[in-house]
């Protein structure tokens, strides 16, 4: 046995994971160079080795749940090369206007056909609310309705969605609550499809960076976009929302959150899935909102993201035959790794999902939270 494999096995001690073991969460190694690659390059090497077919795992989500739940990932030696990659990732994740549309091109514009298969019928690419839901469709409808309830949306009011995706929220708010809804996105593919889906409704999508938002709105929501803002621009984002929100309005921020403050994201996620992105902490959000907003409510249903991601994965897995002519096998392995590693992280409670309701001056008499 090579020293590199012995080191990896020591790292896995206490996780219940066995190299080439019989459990569904045990990794099966096809290339002996796997061990050195992981030790040299950390999470980037682990993910790239999977994409290259160097290893497999029947239950990849459970593998990551056990790794992250036991914090075995922290035992991997961080060498000079990995430190340089982390430092470079921090430097290049600037959040400048010139980078604003990169996430749209590299993630959201890769193909509406993929997302139409993976997501619910409304194309809701954020965590569902599974409290009383039995499937993805019900969970996503419950989430959209919960958001409308939390901001007290009423017929005739104007509502802004910062990072509106394919228009799921603006369509729902206009159809079910009679609101005049505006969404903004940096994805051309999203805007094109959103315009079609919202045709005939008082709901429009603008292809602009959030810093170019104009107008005044009765309510604002941002569902799953704050992760793309990066910490250097958190305050700017809050200032934009504050300026666009009417004095008596409510702002709901729906975002993935981390248990600690960071200034860079995971190297593999940054390189292959979400460039120029970062997961905020409560401390970072609070600092960005200080002096601008009163935090009225904070609702954590991060465990629901595990269910959402697993539902997305099953949709891709079960319908891959209809997609494989447009996407490579390596892409399928990459996308599988993305969805299942994230599911494992939420299952281990390393990542959270927060809905935070904010007001400018405090709700008179207090805010009554919907659940």
Q: Are residues 237 and 337 in the same domain?
A: yes
Q: Check which CATH number belongs to the domain holding 287 and give it.
A: 3.40.50.150
Query: What is the SS3 assignment for 355?
Result: strand
Assigned domain for 90 exists: no
What are the C-alpha distances in Å from 130 to residues 83, 139, 222, 345? 39, 5, 20, 18
Taking residues 154-160, what's their average pLDDT?
98
Residues 101 and 240 in one domain: yes
What are the distances in angstroms from CA 161 to CA 90, 93, 295, 327? Answer: 28, 24, 19, 31
Task: Compute, in degrees rounded to 10, the torsion defined by CA atoms 161, 165, 170, 171.
Answer: 180
Same domain, 58 and 131: no
Kindly state the DSSP code that residue 106 receives in the 8-state scheme.
I
pLDDT score recorded for residue 99: 59
Spatial separation of the C-alpha atoms in residues 319 and 28, rounded to whole Å: 25
Average pLDDT over residues 73-77: 59
Residues 69 and 105 placed together within one structural domain of the fold: no
Q: Is residue 343 a part of any domain in this protein?
A: yes
Helix 34-51 vs helix 3-12: crossing angle, to nearest 10: 70
114-126 per-position pLDDT tens digit: 999 999 999 999 9
- Domain check: are 216 and 70 in the same one? no
**What is the model's pLDDT at position 77?**
46
Q: CA-CA distance, 232 to 235, in Å (whole number)?
A: 8
Q: Quickly state the pLDDT bin for 302 (edges 50, 70, 90).
A: very high
Q: Active-site residue numbers?
A: 342
Are residue 68 and residue 147 in the same domain, yes or no?
Answer: no
- Element containing residue 185 per DSSP (H, E): strand 180-185
Percent of the chain with pLDDT strictly greater than 90 = 85
The answer to whether residues 15 and 68 touch, using CB atoms and an 8 Å cutoff, is no
Place 104 in a pLDDT band, splitting at 50, 70 and 90.
low
Mean pLDDT of the 267-291 span: 94
What pLDDT sits at residue 93?
53
Instruction: Find the domain containing 7 and state its range.
Output: 3-77
Same domain, 136 and 43: no
* Helical residues (DSSP H) of 119-273, grouped into ranges: 136-150, 168-177, 188-197, 234-244, 267-272
β-pairing verdict for 158-162 and 245-258: unpaired
DSSP secondary structure string, 107-141?
Answer: IITS-HHHHHHHS-TT---S----SS-SSHHHHHH
How many structural domains compose the chain?
Answer: 2
Answer whether residue 96 shows pLDDT above 90.
no
**From 81-95, 233-247, 347-361, the region with the lowest mean pLDDT:** 81-95
Query: What's the alpha-carbon Rg for the chain, to the nearest Å?
Result: 21
Asked if residue 80 has pLDDT above 50, the reply is: no
* Same domain for 22 and 150: no
Q: If you average pLDDT over residues 336-365, what whole number do you get?
A: 97
In a domain, 232, yes or no: yes
The reply to whether 111 falls in a domain is yes
Residues 134 and 189 reside in one and the same domain: yes
Q: Which CA distances in Å does 169 have to 173, 181, 220, 305?
A: 6, 9, 11, 18
Q: Give the pLDDT mean for 189-212.
A: 96
The reply to whether 142 falls in a domain is yes
The mean pLDDT of 312-317, rounded to a whole number, is 98
39 and 177 in a single domain? The answer is: no
Q: Please, what is the average pLDDT of the chain? A: 92
If you average pLDDT over residues 24-38, what whole number do you get? 96
Same domain, 321 and 256: yes
Give the three-state DSSP class for 216. Answer: coil
Please say which residue of 13, 43, 77 terminates a domain. Answer: 77
pLDDT of residue 85: 45
Residues 89 and 59 sit within 8 Å (Cβ to Cβ): no
- Give the pLDDT score at 244: 98
Phi-psi region of 321 (alpha: psi -120 to 50; beta: other; left: phi over 0): alpha
- Identify the domain boundary among 49, 77, 105: 77
In this structure, the answer to whether residues 174 and 56 fall within a common structural domain is no
Question: Is residue 84 situated within a structural domain?
Answer: no
């Amino acid at each position: 046995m090579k020293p590199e494999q012995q080191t990896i096995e020591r790292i896995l001690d206490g996780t219940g994971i066995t190299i080439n073991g019989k459990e569904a969460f045990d990794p099966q190694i096809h290339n002996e160079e796997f061990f050195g690659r992981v030790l040299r390059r950390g999470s980037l090497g682990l993910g790239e080795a999977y994409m290259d077919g160097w290893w497999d795992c029947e239950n990849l989500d459970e593998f990551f749940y056990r790794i992250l739940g036991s914090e075995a990932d922290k035992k991997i030696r961080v060498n000079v090369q990995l430190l340089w990659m982390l430092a470079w990732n921090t430097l290049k994740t600037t959040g400048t206007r010139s980078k604003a549309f990169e996430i749209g091109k590299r993630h959201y514009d890769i193909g509406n056909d993929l997302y139409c298969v993976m997501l619910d019928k409304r194309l809701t690419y954020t965590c569902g609310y599974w409290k009383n839901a039995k499937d993805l469709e019900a969970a996503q409808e419950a989430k959209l309705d919960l958001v409308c309830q939390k901001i007290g949306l009423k017929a005739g009011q104007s509502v802004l969605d910062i990072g509106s995706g394919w228009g799921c929220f603006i369509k729902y708010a206009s159809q079910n609550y009679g609101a005049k809804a505006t969404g903004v996105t940096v994805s051309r593919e999203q805007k094109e499809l959103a315009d079609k889906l919202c045709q005939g409704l008082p709901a429009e999508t603008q292809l602009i960076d959030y810093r170019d938002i104009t107008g005044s709105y009765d309510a604002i929501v941002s569902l799953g976009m704050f992760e793309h803002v990066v910490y250097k621009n958190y305050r700017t984002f809050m200032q934009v929302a504050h300026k666009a929100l009417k004095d008596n309005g409510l702002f709901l921020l729906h975002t993935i959150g981390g248990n600690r403050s960071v200034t860079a994201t995971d190297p593999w996620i940054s390189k292959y899935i979400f460039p120029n992105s970062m997961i905020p902490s409560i401390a970072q959000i609070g600092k960005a909102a200080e002096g601008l907003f009163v935090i009225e409510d904070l609702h954590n249903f991060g465990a629901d993201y595990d269910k959402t991601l697993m539902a997305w994965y099953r949709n891709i897995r079960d319908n891959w035959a209809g997609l494989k002519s447009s996407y490579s096998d390596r892409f399928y392995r990459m996308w599988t790794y993305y969805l299942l590693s994230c599911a494992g992280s939420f299952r281990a409670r390393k990542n959270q999902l927060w809905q935070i309701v904010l007001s400018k001056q405090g709700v008179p008499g207090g805010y009554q939270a919907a659940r």
